[in-house]
Chains A and B, each alone.
Chain A
Amino acid sequence: QQQVKQSPQSLIVQKGGIPIINCAYENTAFDYFPWYQQFPGKGPALLIAIRPDVSEKKEGRFTISFNKSAKQFSLHIMDSQPGDSATYFCAASRTYSGAGSYQLTFGKGTKLSVIP
């Protein structure tokens, strides 16, 4: 099964709060887990990514936590700002030789609103 399940569908937090978006996957062969950020009217852009050999990765105010045994990973946004308001997608793929190895499986997205 190639699904990636993302929750919640939408999220509203106040400025300075820490929104958390969760994703769960089923295919244990997945070994690359990126997050994408999409602003209205724009294409998704790569935000941060993690591989399963580490449990956490930080880039600025964005942190991915990864739980291999639970097959879950999550995005935390520290000190969230109104400018972080966007739709966030998690994704997963696996590394192997072959045409399908390029493909990412996306979650359905989380619309985040950070209110001042």
Chain B
Amino acid sequence: NAGVTQTPKFQVLKTGQSMTLQCAQDMNHEYMSWYRQDPGMGLRLIHYSVGAGITDQGEVPNGYNVSRSTTEDFPLRLLSAAPSQTSVYFCAISTGTGRGYTFGSGTRLTVV
């Protein structure tokens, strides 16, 4: 039981390139979300999903795209990477209201 698996762990992109950050869970949780963590800014919600086929925007969605075709997977796509997207990205899952989140181990992305 791996919980939440994020790949890759590290990535360097050139400005303008696109890529997909992967998040996979084996806990059958309805809720999946993507956060970015920047120094002094805490955890900021990018996109979230409450089930297959349902996604919505969080606090900082611009430049990112998501889809949820299965319960298990919630990929985050960077359409055209910018240096401002240099950050650590976390996927988090939850069973629902009033329950704690389980976070993945993160993807450290650098855009040069």
Contact = CB atoms under 8 A, between A and B. Distances in A.
Interface of A: 6, 9, 31-32, 34, 36, 41-46, 49, 51, 89, 93, 95-96, 99, 101-104, 106-109
B90 interface: yes
A96 B42 CA distance: 25
B103 interface: yes
A107 B42 contact: yes
A54 to B, nearest CB: 14
B53 interface: no
Interface stretch (B11-19, B43-51, B64-72, B77-85): B43-51
B22 interface: no
B97 A95 contact: yes
B3 to A, nearest CB: 10
B98 A95 contact: yes
A41 B9 CA distance: 10
A104 B101 contact: yes
B104 A106 contact: no
Contact of A106 (B43, B96, B100): B43
A44 B43 contact: yes
Nearest to B6: A43
A6 B41 CA distance: 11
A102 B40 contact: no
The 6 closest A-B pairs by CB, nearest first: A43-B103, A108-B42, A46-B100, A102-B31, A101-B97, A106-B43
Contact of B101 (A41, A46, A51, A108): A46
Contact of B103 (A31, A44, A107): A44
A9 B39 CA distance: 11
Contacts of B56: 99
Interface in B82-109: 90, 92, 94, 96-98, 100-106
Contacts of A108: 40-42
A34 B100 contact: yes
5 contacts: A44-B90, A89-B43, A95-B97, A102-B48, A108-B42
A42 B105 contact: yes
